[in-house]
A and B are shown apart, each in its own frame.
Chain A
């Protein structure tokens, strides 16, 4: 089944403890992106990647890192999480030739930083 898989689905962590949220897609999509969803703010883009080894900042990149060493994987790294990073995170992907048609989203990761 074609899908975007995020892990974990839920995560509670403490301030300052490094964590990684994984994202993997099995559709050979070039483009991948991370969004965070917060009440009253909708979804905002954190980082995106047009292809392997090509990443760029979105609108809210502070406190996050990403890497794209393989086409299928696009992990989101929080080196020193803080409570203001408590949010619902989505990974999304699309083939570049169909970028006008919207994304395929993962199921989301609910992160709580205490």
Chain B
């Protein structure tokens, strides 16, 4: 069965600095999708970034980028120029192609200090 592991329950970063959140996953599939979701105190789940496994190029969305290492089954999220509004719980998620279910990690709580 596929699993997603986020080994950092909590992280902190100073405003304007860069932070990297880790995610590893276990799968025997070759084609799948990976996601990072942000959950601020409002509880809303917000899609931050998405990566397709067959694409070697790392996805980027403004200050958010990923380091996708397919062989290592690693999918880390880098937040550059951190802002106070980035403080949230971040969830890594996996979906096998041609299935519906998102499998989530346990989350990393990010604190941002001024």
A contact residues vs B (CB 8 Å cutoff):
31, 33, 35, 40-45, 48, 50, 58-59, 88, 90, 92, 99-103, 105, 107-108, 110
Binary CB contact string for chain B from 91 to 106 against chain A (1 if under 8 A, 0 otherwise): 1010101001110111
Q: List 16 A-B contacts (CB under 8 A).
A: A31-B100, A33-B101, A42-B4, A42-B105, A42-B106, A43-B93, A43-B104, A44-B104, A45-B101, A58-B101, A90-B45, A101-B50, A102-B50, A102-B93, A105-B44, A107-B42
Count the B residues whose beta carbon is within 8 Å of the partner chain — how many? 22
Chain B residues lying within 8 Å of A43, measured Cβ to Cβ, are 91, 93, 102, 104
**Chain B residues at the A interface, C-beta cutoff of 8 Å:** 4, 33, 35, 37, 42-45, 47, 50, 52, 91, 93, 95, 97, 100-102, 104-107
Nearest-neighbor residue (CB-CB) of B92 within chain A: A42
> Which residues from B are CB-within-8-Å of A45?
101-102
A42 touches B104 (CB 8 A): yes
Contacts of A100 in B (CB 8 A): 33, 52, 95, 97
Q: A42-B91, A43-B91 are in contact. Are A105 and B45 (CB under 8 A)?
A: yes
